[in-house]
Amino acid sequence: MSDVILEIGLEEVPARFMPAALNDLKTSAEKALHEARLSFSEALTYGTPRRLVLVLKNVADRQEDLSEEVRGPSEKVAYGADGTPSKALKGFMASQGVVPADIEIRDGYVFANKTAAGESRMSVLKQLLPELILGLHFPKTMRWGAHQLRYVRPIHWILALCDDQVIPFSLEVADADRLSRGHRHLGESTFAVASVETYFDQLQENYVIVDQNKRRAMIEEQLEALTRQMNGQLVPDEDLLEEIVYLVEYPTALAGHFDDAFLAIPPELVITPMKEHQRYFPVRDAESGALLNAFLTVRNGTNDHLEVVQAGNERVLLARLSDARFFFEEDLKHTPESRLDKLKQVVFQEKLGTVYDKVLRLEKLSKQIAEVLGYDETVQQDVTRAAKLAKTDLVSNVVGEFPELQGIIGEVYVSRSGKDNDKVAQAVREHYMPRFYGDATPETDAGALLALTDKLDTIVGCFAAGIEPTGSQDPYGLRRQASGVIAILLANLQPASLAELITLATDTLPKALVADADQLVRQVVAFFDQRMRTVLKDSDFNTVFIDAVLAAGYDDPVATMARAATIDAFRNNEPAAFDMILQTYKRAHNLAEKSDARAVSPEFFEEAAENKLFDAIETYRSAHAEADVYDSLKDLTELSAPLDAFFDAVMIMDERESVRMNRLALLREYTLLGRDLVDFNRFK
């Protein structure tokens, strides 16, 4: 058994590509080794900005031997009358490289039992490793120099070792050897790695911490120590932390400060330049939670000359904050309402008009949705006012510089104008929520209504304009918008008909854009199917169960989720009863499929069992109209007895067509029961 290491040396890879690349490298290596029949105990991947590293532990010396059985000609053809091998059998043995001792006769045919000896570890790896390198997938690739190879960034070196031996192979751009490179500015430009065992220590000696988990731990420990020194509390940001982990090879954290006069502007205007532009961590006071005039950052190097690095970072941040403050102060010279005219110059979508056109739709649609969902006049006024102002910050200086602050800075501007109440201002911020799957939903009624309205207008408008998500292409984020609609309804336990809301949104679109309103509504409702599946899957329901529940409809997401939970509770609490329903249903369904969908005619009944089943079905329908889901399922179990009696007493496939089809129609009526709850036929 031996350990193997592969290091792909690159120019700096974008940090956002690294996690997926390392996962791809790990899974591809595991798959390739299994397919190559080369056993190993573990595949580990590591990464820095300049290298992708694969470590294989306890790799076997050789491939496992391959045993294969190949069927040849029939026994009659394979042997002559005297039992000697025929030309057909000799040809078969020659083609398979076997001798008579490898031939077995079974079921009238000859079979060749072949065994291919496994190749050596080195022989397999020198073919497998270059394929792994070339097989990695990246969001973007490039070519460099005169090379034809496309890769995420230029490859400058390849290290490949099995214990202390080089695994020889070549790519167009580099040959594999034992040479690696240290930190770009602190380590040796090139050095020889003695073995897999010494690799990590040698890299660390050259100021490269290869293990990303170790770098993360170092960063977290250093940041924690610095925040304690200033009695502060780090503003948590997992995405920023992960990005920095893959931006540095040798992390050293440091603190910096800025003029506390900048704390007079909204905190978001301080935090955003820090995080989005400079990759700094903001710091809050540990007790009050107020933003401090301090930041933390991580350099790619040692703690030498930190004061110089600190001063440089402070100087850059000063310029960023000065710009932010200037933009903010300029924006405050204008009211949100005064910016409405500028929205007429901003195109939302070619067929859907300008952002101003969208605002007009939002005003009308938000009031209609509020009325349909039963909100009072005060909420209706708040949401229509918020709809009017919600997009005005898109033409502000701050959003022009910091697009991620749309809605957030809009709330500030509406609040500071002094013309509107806090709920209107808050709704302006909340109408973009949830911004991503799993994000928080709006807290205010006006915010929830405006968020619903905005998302529905975008979804329905884009479908009407012929813009639908395809594969990975979703330029308007329609999948995310649809998930947001469902999340808002569920968070507020708001009963609502998707079809009704979508119809309202359709009615606000330009008439020339909607050729067939009914078809558009059906199309958009169907689009929500996959979003509901995702929500149900996140609730730990399996695919079969989800199919069965959604087959009964999902027009009201809140009711659908409640129905799913109740059905799941019933089948877990009363498994025997649920199985009884399934068995009875399937028995009836198999015959009912032969029905011609005619109505049941009681005058054709000849057996008491027919009348009893018919009466039981009618009784269930009457009771089901008022019963909840759990009681409806319990009531279905009670139909098992009259249905069993029907099967025992009645010849269903009577030779008389009128009687036969009437009995099948009665079974069909039974199978329709509970269809608004769940499709029992989906369960296997």
Does 650 map to a domain? yes
Statement to judge: residues 477 and 580 lie in one domain: no
Please state whether the peptide bond connecting residue 434 to the residue before it is cis, i.e. omega within 30 degrees of 0: yes
Please state the domain count of the chain.
5
**CATH code, 627:** 1.10.730.10
Q: Are 437 and 538 in contact (CB under 8 A)?
A: no
Distance between CA atoms of residues 475 and 466, nearest Å: 13
Statement to judge: residues 572 and 423 lie in one domain: no
Does 651 map to a domain? yes
Closest CA to 482 of 537, 540, 524, 440: 524
Distance between CA atoms of residues 253 and 232, nearest Å: 15
Does 551 map to a domain? no
Statement to judge: residues 96 and 178 lie in one domain: no
Of 291, 317, 332, the last residue of a domain is 332
**432: helix, coil or strand?**
coil
Give the dihedral of Cα atoms 197, 198, 201, 202; nearest 10 deg. -150
Statement to judge: residues 175 and 145 lie in one domain: yes
Statement to judge: residues 19 and 76 lie in one domain: no
Does 619 map to a domain? yes
Classify strands 155-162 and 176-177 as parallel, antiparallel or unpaired.
parallel
> What pTM was computed for the model?
0.81
**CATH code, 521:** 1.10.3210
Distance between CA atoms of residues 199 and 520, nearest Å: 61
Dihedrals φ, ψ of 235, to 5°? Answer: -75, 110
Does 544 map to a domain? no
Share of the chain above pLDDT 70, in %: 99
Q: Are 283 and 227 in contact (CB under 8 A)?
A: yes
Dihedrals φ, ψ of 160, to 5°? Answer: -145, 115
Does 554 map to a domain? no
pLDDT digits (tens, 9 = 90+) for 124-158: 999 999 999 999 999 999 999 888 899 999 999 99
Instruction: Give the number of other Cβ atoms within 10 Å of residue 131's Cβ.
Output: 11
pLDDT at 627: 65
- One-letter amino acid at 387 equals A
Of 179, 206, 233, the last residue of a domain is 206
The ranges of the chain with pLDDT < 70 are 597, 625-627
Does 573 map to a domain? yes
Statement to judge: residues 468 and 584 lie in one domain: no
Statement to judge: residues 527 and 491 lie in one domain: yes
Statement to judge: residues 224 and 287 lie in one domain: yes
Statement to judge: residues 387 and 526 lie in one domain: yes
Statement to judge: residues 656 and 569 lie in one domain: yes
Of 332, 351, 384, the last residue of a domain is 332
Greatest CA span in the chain, whole angstroms?
109
Statement to judge: residues 191 and 53 lie in one domain: yes
Domain of 93 in residue numbering reads as 66-116
Partners of residue 70 on adjacent β-strands: 112
Statement to judge: residues 146 and 289 lie in one domain: no
Does 430 map to a domain? yes
> What is the distance, to the nearest Å, from the Cα of residue 305 to the centroid of all Cα atoms in its chain?
43
**CATH code, 156:** 3.30.70.3400
- One-letter amino acid at 527 equals F
Closest CA to 559 of 652, 512, 624, 497: 497
Q: What angle do CA 491, 359, 350 make, to 5 degrees?
A: 110
Q: What is the CA radius of gyration of the chain?
A: 35
